Structure 1
């Protein structure tokens, strides 16, 4: 598997700067929020989202140096992403993320909700200070999409009538919206041609969908120690993702198990086995590969450059997580 460290070489220095800046941006005005933020930004995330913003910035600026606004956009993107993770963990009552205790388990739910709110608010403030209305609109939409994605996921728990379209829409809100809109915003800050701006949005959307589908596959195929949370935990909590959706078409009994919310002894084990024995994982892999291919095509608008090449390699990286 490709490691992100070697992958992001063209923006390595940018990402180092970003990590230092993030801790300052969150500010030490509130020691507990400071502690929460330090903990979050140190938790070994791959920084994929801000890296994409920086890569798009460099790939669209080419001969020119990227601006402080591009850098700030990358920081805002990571803040929004982190805020969404904090809220996610509260909603999911998660104890661990990347094998590190979550903010809600270290402090408590109340502080975690407020820390997430604070990060959203802080990112909005820095966003407004970019003084670019289009970029403000793009990233405000992301914050709204996150909430909508969480609400949809909550409403659709254990709902076996969920369609593939509805699943993809939810995946867009939860994952792809941030990647798509921040990539687009970076191109807007570079004054790129409109057509290129739109292609970079589409690249982010399809890459984000592939990324989420791969995550949903890994939830079934990765052992607990590696995943940092129990295997199949999405399904157990009633969150029906691509592998289970496809599996239900072949294994109607899976629907019964989900509809009774795994209330009987051995239901969870049976359900996981049904997914494993079906074509669910294979078909989900094909779906992820389909979106990855679409993402690649949208990069044809960029002139060759080291950063443009990494945006292409990133598509392979997302799929390589499966093998």
Structure 2
């Protein structure tokens, strides 16, 4: 299977610069917050979101060098993403993320929340300094969308009446919004036409939705080692994702188990078995494939380049995580 990092070869040097700049951008005003930020950015990660921004930048600038504003946009994108993860981990009470201790487990909840707020604030400050009002609006909307998605998720826990449409809306707010709006922002900084930047937005939106659906499938099919958390964690917490929602239409008893919140011994194991015995996971795979293919269609208009090819290959990478 192709790794994410191998897809990023056209922007490999750009990502090295980004990694060096991130800790410097946060600053050293407060040692505890700086330590938390240094831990976060030093913990690695695939840097998928800033890589997409850099690939979009290079795919639209072609033979011209990308600007410092393109680079700063990629850095801001990673800061916003990281801030959202810090807050998510506190809300989810997660001690680990991808096998690495979370900020709140290393420090405490108060420091983690403040560290997340600090990163959002720093990202907003650097965003304002791009001096592009349209880009500021796009990335500010992302921060609002994160909060909207978290609230929606909290309000729909164990809600067996939730529709696939509502699930996709929530997935857009929590995952796809950042990829979509930062992709569009890269196009705006390149001076792209309305049609071009709208298609860049469409690519990010569909790729982000495919990415989230695949993540949700892996919660049922992945191992604890791969996931960095116990399999079935989302279901146990009442977060009903695509495989469970599709299975509910096929397995009536699953609704009983969910609505009593898996309170009886063996409920969760029975629910997982029902989902795996249904067409839920297969239908979710088809949903992810649809959005990955739509992403490729959106990007097909761009001139042929290494960066465009990497963006197209990214949709295959997202789907191949399932196998």
Same fold (TM over 0.5): yes
1:139 maps to which residue? 139
1:238 maps to which residue? 238
Matched, 1:26 2:13: no
2 CA distance for matches of 1:63 and 1:155?
Answer: 48
The 5 Å alignment of 1:169-188 reads: 169-188=169-188
- After superposition, the C-alpha distances for 1:28-80 in whole angstroms (9 at most, x for unaligned) are 22111111112111223110000000000000000110000000000000000
2:115 maps to which residue? 115
1:226 maps to which residue? 226
How does the TM-score come out when normalised to structure 2?
A: 0.99
* Deviation (angstroms), 1:300: 1.7
2:11 maps to which residue? 11
2 CA distance for matches of 1:304 and 1:203?
Answer: 16
2 CA distance for matches of 1:173 and 1:153?
Answer: 10
List structure 1 runs of 4+ shifted beyond 2 angstroms: none
Secondary structure of the corresponding residue to residue 53 of structure 2: helix
* Deviation (angstroms), 1:128: 0.3
User: Retained in 2: the 8 A contact 1:43–1:98?
Assistant: no
* Deviation (angstroms), 1:210: 0.2
2 CA distance for matches of 1:270 and 1:295?
Answer: 36
1:70 maps to which residue? 70
- After superposition, the C-alpha distances for 1:253-298 in whole angstroms (9 at most, x for unaligned) are 1111110111111111111111111111100000000001111100
Matched, 1:258 2:271: no
2:204 maps to which residue? 204
1:293 maps to which residue? 293
2:310 maps to which residue? 310
- After superposition, the C-alpha distances for 1:209-247 in whole angstroms (9 at most, x for unaligned) are 000000000011111112110001000000000000001
1 CA distance for matches of 2:172 and 2:300?
Answer: 23
Secondary structure of the corresponding residue to residue 301 of structure 1: coil
* Deviation (angstroms), 1:165: 0.4
1 CA distance for matches of 2:43 and 2:251?
Answer: 39
Matched, 1:127 2:150: no
Segment of structure 1 superposing worse, 54-63 or 25-34: 25-34
| Residues paired across the two proteins, number | 323
1:38 maps to which residue? 38
2:58 maps to which residue? 58
User: Retained in 2: the 8 A contact 1:183–1:201?
Assistant: yes
* Deviation (angstroms), 1:147: 0.4
2 CA distance for matches of 1:33 and 1:79?
Answer: 14
User: Retained in 2: the 8 A contact 1:224–1:231?
Assistant: yes
2:267 maps to which residue? 267
2 CA distance for matches of 1:107 and 1:193?
Answer: 46
How does the TM-score come out when normalised to structure 1?
A: 0.99
- After superposition, the C-alpha distances for 1:126-157 in whole angstroms (9 at most, x for unaligned) are 00000000000000000000000000000001
Structure 2: give runs of 5+ residues left out of the alignment: none
Segment of structure 1 superposing worse, 20-29 or 123-132: 20-29
2 CA distance for matches of 1:226 and 1:43?
Answer: 17
Secondary structure of the corresponding residue to residue 59 of structure 1: helix
2:103 maps to which residue? 103
1 CA distance for matches of 2:68 and 2:276?
Answer: 48
